[in-house]
Amino acid sequence: MSTKKGRPAQLRPAVVRQLRKCGVQRTRDLERLGISREYLRKLVATGVLQRVARGLYVLADADISENRTLAEASQRVPNGIVCLLSALRFHGLTTQAPFEVWMAIDRDAWRPVSDYPALRIVRLSKKALEAGIEKHRIEGVSVKVYAPAKTVADCFKFRNKVGLDVALEALRDFRRLKKGSMDELWDYAKVCRVANVMRPYMESLT
């Protein structure tokens, strides 16, 4: 569809369909459908869309889930993986409610800049970055989140950032809620190079 040929009566349903399907969309994604920035501004002005951040749009009447910011952050950082406190929250392994979205990126990757949502970026080596990734569909967006066991191991690796108390709470809840096996946890502890750190805490749970 071309923005030059498409009339508003044709364009509006296309935008609504895309947002119903995908939840959160970037300007560039909508432009591929032939939706101009000018027309997006008109849809915001008329209450059809909501601009949640620079270059990010949702339907104004869309249901807002607790995890929407994870979807928005994943649109901002397509190669990032939700990690640490944000992943703990997603998996129900913490009472913490982070105001930033914690995301892992490659240690050599360009550091993303986002006015919204607020991001907390950590860098991992290739092996640690690629281990334990799950894909979840959140408001139409494919979001990469570390698995519970990988997240717990990461919390011990970054215990100086999140706090040892948070890592211990996550470990206890991982065991109590049966989010995975101890063998799985041990494998990720070795990937994250915190096996010696985690060993006594894991042994205390067995």
Q: Would you say residue 51 lies in a domain? A: yes
Helices marked H in the chain — which ranges? 8-22, 27-31, 37-45, 68-76, 84-91, 126-130, 148-157, 159-162, 164-176, 182-191, 195-203
- Quick: pLDDT tens for 101-152: 999 999 999 888 777 788 999 999 999 999 999 999 988 789 999 999 999 9
Full residue range of the structural domain in which residue 52 is found: 8-59
> What is the distance between the alpha carbons of residues 125 and 133, in angstroms, rounded to a whole number?
14
Q: Would you say residue 45 lies in a domain? A: yes
Give pLDDT, residue 65: 64
- Same domain, yes or no: 84 and 39: no
Backbone angles phi, psi at 153, to 5 degrees: -60, -40
Q: pLDDT under 70 in the chain at which residues?
A: 1-10, 22-23, 53, 62-65
The pTM (predicted TM-score) of the whole model is 0.74
Which whole-number Å values give the CA distances from 110 to 24, 121, 144, in the listed order? 23, 11, 18
- Same domain, yes or no: 15 and 83: no
Give pLDDT, residue 135: 97
> What is the distance between the alpha carbons of residues 129 and 39, in angstroms, rounded to a whole number?
39
Q: Would you say residue 113 lies in a domain? A: yes
- Same domain, yes or no: 84 and 119: yes
